[in-house]
């Protein structure tokens, strides 16, 4: 726990005691770090707790703020506390505080940004789970980056994380794939036959058919329909795996839906729902009472002919995750899965898993723009923009960042022209160039500047050489810890992209205004280099958490 967190705890404990708030109050008693120049003129920390308490206590916020300022026994690290209308409390810290923080970051490196008191949990994040009936399309890249980066952050924070891909390899879509592939093989062998409208029409099936014929020869048409379904599924699943690896996404588990059907898992899960009185029989079918949990209608789990629906598999899969030891579930789904999300929460309750956290992240549509115009896509016509095509066109790093740099519940427009730009207008180039430039400065410093070793435990030795510009950089660095905590609690992975870009902008502005290497002022140069070393480490950490490269040169 660093010194700012200690001040935060001191302030929060005072507020709870002074105003008789319960220990687990939901009222946010925060001291927010002022990390940009306009707000920094009002101090280093601010709180709006007086305005929040005013609503609760029905008192004047100014009177509450004044009472807090008078009675709060401020730690020695605080220089002054002030009130600003309508009810803000601003705190200015002694400059030695930031030297202490610089020392802590210098000693602890990446560990500085980990939670202070973490209760480690076993997370299971299921994402992408694209049907193995075609190549991954443009939209899949968004769910993939959200799940991958969220997993990276949770693992960094100290949790046990399993990244899982659910393979939809059971059901009618696989049979349809097999039929579509067989017809493409027939066409390739000269047979005059048309694809049904409901079949898969993508050009990838023509290529797959030619490969299938090359592997097995023209007698392939003698094989049963199940062969074509299995061959197509395996080849397309292999392509999905390779695309994800090119995208920098590695899964710990590839879970087969078919395995649930081949075991007793579904039967046992349905038996448990029946025991809990959440199923009923109607029209010779078995129904799940989904409307009791907010769904728009009850759902069939077993048809009148005995065929199990995908809902039945979902029940078994949910139970299977818990049986494997998962303590916190996360699922990342496309925007057309809102009712599915409601159903999953209902299934969790129906299975008696009321204490199991289940976070469902719904991400919105992705579109692509090139040369100022929208790129048209039609899956039925086989005219789709593949994720692999995006990666091959703009590169892994650019693809990942552009997909990440937008809040999940907002639509994302992938600007291909900007993605292909190799200038500072491209945010990926801009961030990576900041890291490269810092590393270049640090290398040059080894040959140009006499090395000055500061004793950071003796704050007076360096305080005079660090001023407001360096404090702003340090504040921004320190803020990463709160960013990572916020991503864990909200699953808002875009915050990491925003932060890394803001950090790069801060560095470029700082470097443009201040001479870091000055042989005539070795003490000042050495102090600034200490700050840049921590900036380098922080930028490198954020890039790694986003799954982006950390180049030495560009």
pTM of the model: 0.94
**Per-residue model confidence (pLDDT) at position 40:** 82
Task: Summarize pLDDT for 172-207 with one digit per residue, the tens.
Answer: 899 999 999 999 999 999 999 999 999 999 889 999
Domain with CATH 3.30.1360.70 in the chain: 3-94
CATH topology of domain 3-94: Gyrase A; domain 2 (3.30.1360)
CATH of domain 423-545: 1.10.730.10
Q: What percent of the chain has pLDDT over 70?
A: 98
- Kindly tell me the sign of the dihedral angle through the C-alpha atoms of 490, 496, 498, 499: positive
The chain-wide mean pLDDT, for the chain, equals 93
Per the CB < 8 A criterion, the answer to whether 546 and 504 are in contact is no
Residues in CB range of 417: below 8 A, 6 or more apart: 369, 370, 371, 372
Task: Summarize pLDDT for 441-496 with one digit per residue, the tens.
Answer: 999 998 876 677 777 777 777 888 888 999 999 999 999 999 999 999 999 999 99
> Of all helices (H) and strands (E), which one includes residue 103?
helix 96-108
- Kindly tell me the sign of the dihedral angle through the C-alpha atoms of 212, 215, 221, 226: negative
- Residue whose C-alpha is closest to residue 480's, from 533, 428, 409, 542: 542
Per the model's pLDDT, the better-predicted residue between 38 and 388 turns out to be 388
Domain with CATH 1.10.730.10 in the chain: 423-545
Query: What six digits make up the tokens of 360?
Result: 């469902």
Question: What does the buried/exposed string (b/e) look like for 331-368 if buried means 16 or more CB atoms within 10 Å of the residue's CB?
Answer: bbbbeebeebebbbebbbebbebeebebebbbbeebeb
Quick one: average pLDDT of 258-277?
95
Task: Summarize pLDDT for 356-384 with one digit per residue, the tens.
Answer: 999 999 999 999 988 888 776 554 444 46
Span of 52-56, 99-103, 458-462 with lowest mean pLDDT: 458-462
Task: Summarize pLDDT for 32-47 with one digit per residue, the tens.
Answer: 999 888 888 889 999 9
Task: Summarize pLDDT for 306-317 with one digit per residue, the tens.
Answer: 999 989 999 999
């Amino acid at each position: 726990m660093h010194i700012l967190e200690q001040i935060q705890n001191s302030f929060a404990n005072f507020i709870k005691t002074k105003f008789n708030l319960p220990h687990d109050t939901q009222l946010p008693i925060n001291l927010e770090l002022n990390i940009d120049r306009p707000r920094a003129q009002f101090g280093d920390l601010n709180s709006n707790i007086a305005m929040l308490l005013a609503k609760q206590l029905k008192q004047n916020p100014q009177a509450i703020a004044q009472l807090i300022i008078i009675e709060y026994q401020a730690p020695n690290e605080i220089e002054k506390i002030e009130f600003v209308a309508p009810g803000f409390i601003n705190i200015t810290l002694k400059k030695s505080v930031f030297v202490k923080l610089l020392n802590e970051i210098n000693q602890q490196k990446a560990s500085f940004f980990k939670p202070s008191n973490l209760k480690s949990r076993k997370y299971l994040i299921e994402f992408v789970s694209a049907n193995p009936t075609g190549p991954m399309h443009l939209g899949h890249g968004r769910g993939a980056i959200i799940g991958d980066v969220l997993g990276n952050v949770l693992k960094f924070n100290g949790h046990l994380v399993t990244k899982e891909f659910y393979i939809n390899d059971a059901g009618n879509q696989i049979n349809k794939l097999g039929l579509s592939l067989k017809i493409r093989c027939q066409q390739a062998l000269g047979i005059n036959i048309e694809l049904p409208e409901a079949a898969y029409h993508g050009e990838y099936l023509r290529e797959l058919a030619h490969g299938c014929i090359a592997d097995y020869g023209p007698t392939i048409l003698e094989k049963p329909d199940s062969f074509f379904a299995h061959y197509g599924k395996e080849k397309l699943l292999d392509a999905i795996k390779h695309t994800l690896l090119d995208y920098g996404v590695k899964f710990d588990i590839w879970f087969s839906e078919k395995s649930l059907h081949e075991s007793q898992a579904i039967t046992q899960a349905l038996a448990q729902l029946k025991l809990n009185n959440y199923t009923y029989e109607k029209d010779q079918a078995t129904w799940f009472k989904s409307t009791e949990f907010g769904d728009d209608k009850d759902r069939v789990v077993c048809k009148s002919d005995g065929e199990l629906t995908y809902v039945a598999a979902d029940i078994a899969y949910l139970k299977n995750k818990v049986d494997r030891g998962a303590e916190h579930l996360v699922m990342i789904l496309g925007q057309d899965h809102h009712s599915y999300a409601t159903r999953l929460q209902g299934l969790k309750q129906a299975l008696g898993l009321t204490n199991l956290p289940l976070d469902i992240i719904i991400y919105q549509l992705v579109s692509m723009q090139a040369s100022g115009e929208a790129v048209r896509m039609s899956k039925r016509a086989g005219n789709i923009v593949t994720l692999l095509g995006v990666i091959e066109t703009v590169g892994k790093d650019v693809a990942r960042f552009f997909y990440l740099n937008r809040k999940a519940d907002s639509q994302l427009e992938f600007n291909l022209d900007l993605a292909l730009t190799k200038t500072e207008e491209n945010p990926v180039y801009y961030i990576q160039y900041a890291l490269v430039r810092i590393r270049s400065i640090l290398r040059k410093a080894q040959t140009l500047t006499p090395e000055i070793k500061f004793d950071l435990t003796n704050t007076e030795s360096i305080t005079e050489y660090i001023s407001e510009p360096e404090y702003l950089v340090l504040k921004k660095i320190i803020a990463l810890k709160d960013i990572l905590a916020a991503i864990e609690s909200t699953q808002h992975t875009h915050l990491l992209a925003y932060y890394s870009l803001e950090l790069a902008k801060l560095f470029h502005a700082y470097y443009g205004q201040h001479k870091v290497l000055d042989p005539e002022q070795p003490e000042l140069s050495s102090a600034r280099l200490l700050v840049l070393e921590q900036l380098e480490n922080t930028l490198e950490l954020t890039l790694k958490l986003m799954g982006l490269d950390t180049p030495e040169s560009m």
